[in-house]
A and B are shown apart, each in its own frame.
Chain A
């Protein structure tokens, strides 16, 4: 009798990762901290350790010694599908890896396994499958035009054609969170830091594809990374500033892999840049926050993934009228906002559940303001705040910095129905006009066109 074929493949997994699956001692430390397990009412199937156990069982059934002798055992497709869905119920925040007693690099492990399952045909999850087309063809995940990359620019902002310093804006700040774009640009102008941008030549960092295991589809992340790197290099960039933690993470970790060597420029997050300027005595605070209590949320992509914890705090502590209080879970033990790993686009109810937990952490401090350094966290935490009907204001460190430096954080008059995150939440000088009623639907869209772009999704 012919032997069965293995029900799973080991594609995309390294020998080290296969060892990691065998190394889990199932101590359960990851379970204590997993944000999605908690938001899913402590469903055992969402536990990192249970996912490891299940994949290990799949591998044993397909490639273990019994499989060698008697042939691979069958695994019901629905079991693999259930595993896939559970694996995507994860923001790839990396908390499990941080606390793992076995030192397992879970971020890489989940992403590699996701890529394996995409090849298997069971991944990704829901709307995440739109990412390759959106990012591959449109170079952004929001169905926007490249020519509108700088649509957020206001007349007061000065951008030079050539400079050592570049600002990589990112899709989210460029299209949906203009307040971050204008605040970053105005701060750089005020500090007399001439900077350039890629404008229409900027492509999505493609982080969303890597986080959801779709990096191999059309090789889009590699193409995007190479395009951005070459474009920045061609314009002579020596330092590239990122105000988006998702893009920054991609530039620090994913781009060098695609490039095959170290980047030809230094990637720096805006919070690090601000801390530097503070040290150099260049930042002059012109306003005070009037003794407001502020708490800081470490974005996973800035904190755990690349290790930037202290610079944002340094900037916050230096601000007049800011009383910084820490959430119980902070720095490397921070709880994820819930938006990462494609969850915001693919599983919005899970993203909201985690955001509410994180807002609960912030509420417990008694803070009036929650500050983060990632537009994606900000958007999801705003959703959590609204769902919980909390009074707390949620904004980005860059927006707060701009205001206290005496700069306007106003964006171009927001279009009717523009996303709430377009404008500052903390300094409410603008309002978003309500969306007009939708006209009757015209002819149906082409069958192969994406019906809907993820509202605010895929950056992480």
Chain B
């Protein structure tokens, strides 16, 4: 059975639920695809010509334009808009409270899970590289994982609640006729549903079927929880989540999660009542 990945004599990823030989390449592929997608989007937007310019600005020019427009009035006002309109979606709050709840739950649920993933990955390296943990003793990571678990549950529940609100609102409480549904919408809903269902299934397997309370060394899984390591459900969930939520993100409808706040920030909060 595979153990961790050795980098500069230090061992990392030796407590993953699935083989790092699968996980690491999929993660790297996903991140590369994310940046490729981001570049393609920037390049597409960059085919536009900004006011006062004479030719398209391209991907790099668009990136500069985004930063310039957000901070055009200085850091203070920009931060205000980033916090109020980007992170707390003030415009949606003013007009559509249910949608605001849905967006906040999905946005923060998604972002929270992403941040936890980054923290977990960083901890993988922090133990062996900074604390000089000996191979086969991933104490820091195991402790950190215990701390992250409730947050993981919280963000996953937020994401789920958000999606449930989205579906119920669309089916039962829509105040305007529903928007035209396209294949892009179906892919988004189907993909997110798969992520969530398999996520909870994996969670259930881990806790209720295999009784895996936390992380342990890869080599220990066979002894303590035979059949859990590289379990097909867990494997599928983690690989699919990486591919769908990271690699496919810039190509999907879900990309508006980033574009919409960016546009609001570039528009300095958008329309506001001048005399209000």
Interface residues on B, range: 35 or more
Does A32 interact with chain B (Cβ within 8 Å)?
A: yes
Residues 40-82 of B contacting A (Cβ, < 8 Å) = 40-41, 44-51, 56-57, 61-62, 65, 69
Which of B6-14, B20-28, B176-184 is the contact stretch?
A: B176-184
Q: Once the chains bind, are A15 and B57 in contact (CB under 8 Å)?
A: yes
- Residues of B contacting A28 with CB < 8 Å? 174-179
Q: Which residue of A14, A59, A99, A307 is within 8 Å of B275 (Cβ)?
A: A307
Residues 88-123 of A contacting B (Cβ, < 8 Å) = 94, 97-105
A22-B41, A23-B256 are known contacts. Are A32 and B91 too (CB-CB below 8 A)? no
- Residues of A contacting B263 with CB < 8 Å? 16, 19-20, 23, 102-104
- Residues of B contacting A31 with CB < 8 Å? 176-177
Residues 1-28 of A contacting B (Cβ, < 8 Å) = 10-20, 22-28
With CB as the reference atom, state the residue of chain A lying closest to B89: A101
Q: Which residue of B92, B175, B182, B269 is within 8 Å of A53 (Cβ)?
A: B182
Q: How far is the CB of B102 from chain A (nearest CB, A)?
A: 10
- Residues of A contacting B47 with CB < 8 Å? 10, 15, 18, 63
In the complex, what distance in Å separates the CA atom of A19 from the CA atom of B270? 14
Q: Once the chains bind, are A57 and B266 in contact (CB under 8 Å)?
A: no
Does A230 interact with chain B (Cβ within 8 Å)?
A: no
Q: Once the chains bind, are B48 and A23 in contact (CB under 8 Å)?
A: no
Q: Once the chains bind, are B95 and A101 in contact (CB under 8 Å)?
A: yes
Does B99 interact with chain A (Cβ within 8 Å)?
A: yes
Q: Which residue of A12, A18, A101, A103 is within 8 Å of B44 (Cβ)?
A: A18
Q: Once the chains bind, are A101 and B62 in contact (CB under 8 Å)?
A: no
Q: Once the chains bind, are A53 and B180 in contact (CB under 8 Å)?
A: yes
- Residues of A contacting B89 with CB < 8 Å? 101
Q: Once the chains bind, are B273 and A29 in contact (CB under 8 Å)?
A: no
Q: Once the chains bind, are A26 and B179 in contact (CB under 8 Å)?
A: yes
0 or 1 for each of B191-232: is its CB under 8 Å from A? (1 = yes)? 000000000000000000000000000000000000000000
Which of A42-50, A156-164, A321-329, A448-456 is the contact stretch?
A: A42-50
Q: Once the chains bind, are A18 and B260 in contact (CB under 8 Å)?
A: no
With CB as the reference atom, state the residue of chain B lying closest to A97: B271
Q: Which residue of A14, A49, A53 is within 8 Å of B48 (Cβ)?
A: A14
0 or 1 for each of B247-276: is its CB under 8 Å from A? (1 = yes)? 000010001100110111011011101111
0 or 1 for each of A235-268: is its CB under 8 Å from B? (1 = yes)? 0000000000000000000000100000000000
- Residues of B contacting A431 with CB < 8 Å? none
Q: Once the chains bind, are B264 and A103 in contact (CB under 8 Å)?
A: yes
In the complex, what distance in Å separates the CA atom of A57 from the CA atom of B46? 17
Q: How far is the CB of A421 from chain B (nearest CB, A)?
A: 28
Does B37 interact with chain A (Cβ within 8 Å)?
A: yes
In the complex, what distance in Å separates the CA atom of A10 from the CA atom of B47? 7
A101-B95, A101-B99 are known contacts. Are A15 and B273 too (CB-CB below 8 A)? no
Does A64 interact with chain B (Cβ within 8 Å)?
A: yes
Q: Once the chains bind, are A23 and B91 in contact (CB under 8 Å)?
A: no
Q: Which residue of B48, B92, B266 is within 8 Å of A27 (Cβ)?
A: B92
A23-B263, A99-B95 are known contacts. Are A105 and B270 too (CB-CB below 8 A)? yes
Q: Once the chains bind, are A98 and B255 in contact (CB under 8 Å)?
A: no
Does A68 interact with chain B (Cβ within 8 Å)?
A: yes
0 or 1 for each of A68-82: is its CB under 8 Å from B? (1 = yes)? 100000000000000
Does A310 interact with chain B (Cβ within 8 Å)?
A: yes
Does A332 interact with chain B (Cβ within 8 Å)?
A: yes
Q: Which residue of A42, A49, A65 is within 8 Å of B251 (Cβ)?
A: A65
Q: Once the chains bind, are B40 and A68 in contact (CB under 8 Å)?
A: yes
Does B149 interact with chain A (Cβ within 8 Å)?
A: no
A23-B256, A24-B256, A44-B180 are known contacts. Are A16 and B266 too (CB-CB below 8 A)? yes
Does B85 interact with chain A (Cβ within 8 Å)?
A: yes
Q: Which residue of B69, B176, B178, B273 is within 8 Å of A332 (Cβ)?
A: B273
Does A211 interact with chain B (Cβ within 8 Å)?
A: no
- Residues of B contacting A50 with CB < 8 Å? 179-180
With CB as the reference atom, state the residue of chain B lying closest to A17: B48
A27-B92, A100-B270, A101-B92 are known contacts. Are A15 and B256 too (CB-CB below 8 A)? no
Q: Once the chains bind, are B260 and A102 in contact (CB under 8 Å)?
A: yes
Q: Which residue of B46, B178, B266, B274 is within 8 Å of A309 (Cβ)?
A: B274
Does A222 interact with chain B (Cβ within 8 Å)?
A: no
With CB as the reference atom, state the residue of chain A lying closest to B273: A332
A101-B95, A103-B263 are known contacts. Are A15 and B50 too (CB-CB below 8 A)? yes
- Residues of A contacting B51 with CB < 8 Å? 14, 257
Q: How far is the CB of B96 from chain A (nearest CB, A)?
A: 6
In the complex, what distance in Å separates the CA atom of A278 from the CA atom of B182? 56
- Residues of B contacting A104 with CB < 8 Å? 263, 267, 270
- Residues of A contacting B262 with CB < 8 Å? 19, 23
Does A331 interact with chain B (Cβ within 8 Å)?
A: yes
- Residues of A contacting B49 with CB < 8 Å? 11-15
Q: Once the chains bind, are A25 and B50 in contact (CB under 8 Å)?
A: no
Q: How far is the CB of A191 from chain B (nearest CB, A)?
A: 24
Q: How far is the CB of A59 from chain B (nearest CB, A)?
A: 7
Q: Once the chains bind, are B176 and A310 in contact (CB under 8 Å)?
A: no
- Residues of B contacting A99 with CB < 8 Å? 95
In the complex, what distance in Å separates the CA atom of A389 from the CA atom of B275? 35
Q: How far is the CB of B9 from chain A (nearest CB, A)?
A: 40
In the complex, what distance in Å separates the CA atom of A101 from the CA atom of B260? 9
In the complex, what distance in Å separates the CA atom of A308 from the CA atom of B48? 32
- Residues of A contacting B178 with CB < 8 Å? 28
Q: Once the chains bind, are B44 and A59 in contact (CB under 8 Å)?
A: yes
Q: Once the chains bind, are A13 and B44 in contact (CB under 8 Å)?
A: no
In the complex, what distance in Å separates the CA atom of A27 from the CA atom of B45? 23
- Residues of A contacting B62 with CB < 8 Å? 15
Q: Which residue of A59, A101, A103 is within 8 Å of B267 (Cβ)?
A: A103
- Residues of B contacting A64 with CB < 8 Å? 40, 44
Q: How far is the CB of A44 from chain B (nearest CB, A)?
A: 7
Q: Which residue of A16, A103, A310 is within 8 Å of B85 (Cβ)?
A: A103
Q: How far is the CB of A14 from chain B (nearest CB, A)?
A: 5
Q: How far is the CB of B124 from chain A (nearest CB, A)?
A: 32
A27-B99, A104-B270 are known contacts. Are A22 and B256 too (CB-CB below 8 A)? yes
Q: Once the chains bind, are A15 and B175 in contact (CB under 8 Å)?
A: no
A28-B174, A100-B91, A101-B99 are known contacts. Are A22 and B274 too (CB-CB below 8 A)? no
Candidate in A11, A23, A103 with the most chain B CB atoms within 10 angstroms: A103
Question: 4 tightest CB-CB pairs across the interface, nearest first?
Answer: A103-B270, A307-B274, A28-B176, A103-B264
Contacts A102-B256, A307-B275, A309-B275 known; 4 new A-B pairs at CB < 8 A: A18-B48, A25-B103, A31-B177, A105-B271
7 residue pairs bridging A and B, Cβ less than 8 Å apart = A15-B47, A15-B62, A19-B45, A19-B263, A27-B99, A63-B47, A102-B263
